[in-house]
Amino acid sequence: MNKLSLTRKARTHLIDHILGRKMEVAGGAAAPASAECPIRYSSIPDAFTRFDRFPGYEKMLVPKAASERLGLANPFFRSHDGVAGATTLIGGREFINFSNYSYLGLAGHPAVSRAAKEAIDRYGTSASASRLVAGERPAQRKLEEALANLYEVDDCIVFVSGHATNVSTIGCLFGPKDLVIHDSLIHNSVLQGIQLSGAARRSFPHNDMAALEQILAEIRAQFERVLIVTEGLYSMDGDIPDLPELIRIKQHHKAFLMVDEAHSLGVLGETGKGVREHFGIQGKAVDIWMGTLSKTLAGCGGYIAGERALVEHLKYAAPGFVYSVGMAPSLAAASLEALRIMQREPERVARLRERGQQFLELMQSLGVNTGLAQAMPSFPPSLAARSKRPGYPTSFSMPVSMSSRSSIPRLKRKPQDSDFSCQPCIPISTYGIPVKS
């Protein structure tokens, strides 16, 4: 028996132990087919009828068992009390919160909460059915109109899930005769949408416009419709794409361009209008604007903004819209108010940018590899920072471990600065990870 077989046997034994089962006797006879199980199915393994034998579940059990043996508590699905902000309560204790995307501090803002409560009082807690068949509530349509105006395009459609927005949109618009080409670091929702569509899929190296154009030059003519997908701001790397070059490429190769602004709305541009404002681009230069409502806009869901034909097509044909309940009026009202606050108070965006630059400089001064980060609220380091000045509670999610050779930081002292929760960090050399001197 080779080493690989032994490893597999050990893993299987561990999984069986976790599940509380005894190992089958090696070489034992197979269980006879029951009266309910036709003899022709006797060759189908029992594992194919059990959820606890799914490969993904078995794989998940291995690290779980290892952490339990080391006495480590499960870090996932912790119950938090209070609003997702600069700090959070877990088990009655206050912690600095490294895990939220309320970029402009609008989740829990009094005006946003008030708008949601007023919508509940007027419309209840649920839209209760699809908007296509059951009609709309004013808050839903007002949010779509406000987003369309923000992007200076014809119209907008909001979905109840950000992930489902990409899945349903790409799955609805493209098919087996088409090509979807995307950045190698694109979000999972885009990949799932491509799979649903049946379109051919290609990826290009992260933000490598030359590679993208080369691929299109070689294979564009083989397909009917072609979609290029990028993100306005990459949340795990803190960098942005060359939008003007992407627009030139899509025009030259007769393709559509889709930009996912989940992390760039409210962050990029002088007033938070996103990557197009950052580059001074007209909204109609991009074919499909996508974004989420759960980050800057303090709600839940996603949206697609663009020309009228695009939006109307999705409203009557996108499965994630047609066959799903409409967005709760309270969530639509909350995101609409958050959008209005962002537009009224551009100083929030400016302060966020200042804090991003401050954090980036601090990390770089300590020798931490910040990769391609451009002083945005998303950085390669696994740290977060929050502005705690009254009226400007901003948040950062800064994923430090970019590779096995990255430095690992810890807080230098208990956060006490009234304006910046995350203080300078000290690289920990005891992990055996090299740190630049």
The catalytic residue positions are 235, 263, 295
Alpha helices of 23-88 — where are they, by DSSP H?
55-69
Gap between the Cα atoms of 167 and 320, Å rounded: 8
213: tokens are: 């154009």
Gap between the Cα atoms of 223 and 200, Å rounded: 9
Gap between the Cα atoms of 184 and 176, Å rounded: 21
Gap between the Cα atoms of 229 and 246, Å rounded: 10
Gap between the Cα atoms of 237 and 45, Å rounded: 44
What does each C-alpha distance from 84 to 74, 80, 274, 355, 358 come to in angstroms?
20, 8, 23, 19, 23
Gap between the Cα atoms of 410 and 408, Å rounded: 7
